[in-house]
């Protein structure tokens, strides 16, 4: 693949320092776009939307048609894995996800092999998107990381996560067994995504805050590493981005230990931290505050300029520290992307 065709994102993930960073946004496909809201009204319940390849591909491509972004990320959800493993999952309007009682770990284990087939529609979505997406724009597949997914499975909803942490301390053997199930099912799911056209794979550890060092090692660093090793053992060599959101002082250790090609940084990341990770041989991604993007004040351009000045001296991917807020005006997204790309 020539550099003229090789997607800018893949070049950054290969360690190149580019004249401008590639840009894409977490949750770039979503409620901030009027065309998404119109599509969502036709889709029925949210999970049916995710499992409909035609609609999910359309949602994935909508921001690519509107903005000069360098990558698309498949429209799906991190809670498809628990459902594929047999746990009840549904979405309450205006309140978010709900999950039924955590099944016995043995029952979940029995469903690992079948779970990938139940997610085959996500592979079809990726195939549809790849067929339409220009060759210079990358396609990202993803999964929720095991600890983050486990918090939902344990608590039954996205809450404060203290309940999941308490459960983890009280039931260490069950936690290890649950994480093993999620490592195996997630690795299989990501292999399927890569074989369906994903050129980059991302692990979203959305809830890695407030973890003691030994706990972080056990439930974040260990599972992420094992997933990547399993994916590599299956013959898949696409680059990985890992996002240990909220990990703070643990991020440097994550970057040194987990075999990702890029580390996603959240809003609190210092310029020094990003530069140190780059000096260690990895790309970084982030870390514009999604609330600053929502506010859209003149500080938006100033912060974008500062991030690029600090981090585009090495391999860097411009993104947010978390996902686009649903109420973000399209004009603010246009301004931010224009500031990065000049388009």
Catalytic residues: 27, 31, 40, 77, 152
Rounded CA separation 185/314 (Å): 34
The tally of CA atoms less than 13 A away on the side-chain side of residue 66 is 21
Residue 304's contacts (CB-CB under 8 Å, 6 or more residues apart) are 288, 318, 336, 339, 340
Q: What is the CA radius of gyration of the chain?
A: 19
Residue 97's contacts (CB-CB under 8 Å, 6 or more residues apart) are 77, 79, 89, 90, 91, 152, 157, 158
- Count the neighbouring beta carbons within 10 Å of the beta carbon of residue 161: 22
Angle subtended at Cα 337 by Cα 193 and Cα 79, rounded to the nearest 5 degrees: 30
Q: How far is CA 37 from CA 43, 74, 271, in A?
A: 10, 17, 36
């Amino acid at each position: 693949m020539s550099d003229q065709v090789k997607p800018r994102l893949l070049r950054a993930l290969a360690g190149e320092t580019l004249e401008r960073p590639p840009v894409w946004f977490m949750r770039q496909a979503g409620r901030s776009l009027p065309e998404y809201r119109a599509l969502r009204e036709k889709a029925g319940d949210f999970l049916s939307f995710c499992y409909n390849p035609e609609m999910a591909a359309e949602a994935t491509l909508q921001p690519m048609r509107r903005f000069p972004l360098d990558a698309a990320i498949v429209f799906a959800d991190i809670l498809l894995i628990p459902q594929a493993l047999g746990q009840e999952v549904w979405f309450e309007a205006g309140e978010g996800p709900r999950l039924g009682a955590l099944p016995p770990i043995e029952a979940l284990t029995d469903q690992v092999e079948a779970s990938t087939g139940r997610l085959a529609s996500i592979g079809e979505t990726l195939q549809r998107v790849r067929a339409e997406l220009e060759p210079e724009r990358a396609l990202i597949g993803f999964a929720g990381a095991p600890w983050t997914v486990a918090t939902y499975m344990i608590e039954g909803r996205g809450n404060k996560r203290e309940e999941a942490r308490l459960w983890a301390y009280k039931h260490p053997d069950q936690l290890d067994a649950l994480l093993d199930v999620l490592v195996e099912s997630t690795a299989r799911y990501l292999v399927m995504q890569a074989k369906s056209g994903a050129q980059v794979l991302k692990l979203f550890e959305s809830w890695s805050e407030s973890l003691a060092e030994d706990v972080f090692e056990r439930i974040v660093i260990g599972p992420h590493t094992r997933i990547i090793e399993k994916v590599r053992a299956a013959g898949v060599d696409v680059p990985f981005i890992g996002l240990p959101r909220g990990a703070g002082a643990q991020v440097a250790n994550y970057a040194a230990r987990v075999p990702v090609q890029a580390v996603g940084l959240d809003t609190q990341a210092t310029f020094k931290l990003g530069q140190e990770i780059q000096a260690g041989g990895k790309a970084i991604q982030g870390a514009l505050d999604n609330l600053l993007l929502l506010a859209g004040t003149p500080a938006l351009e100033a912060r974008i300029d500062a991030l690029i000045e600090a981090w585009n001296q090495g391999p860097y991917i411009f993104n947010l520290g978390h996902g686009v807020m649903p109420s973000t005006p399209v004009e603010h997204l246009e301004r931010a992307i224009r500031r990065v790309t000049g388009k």
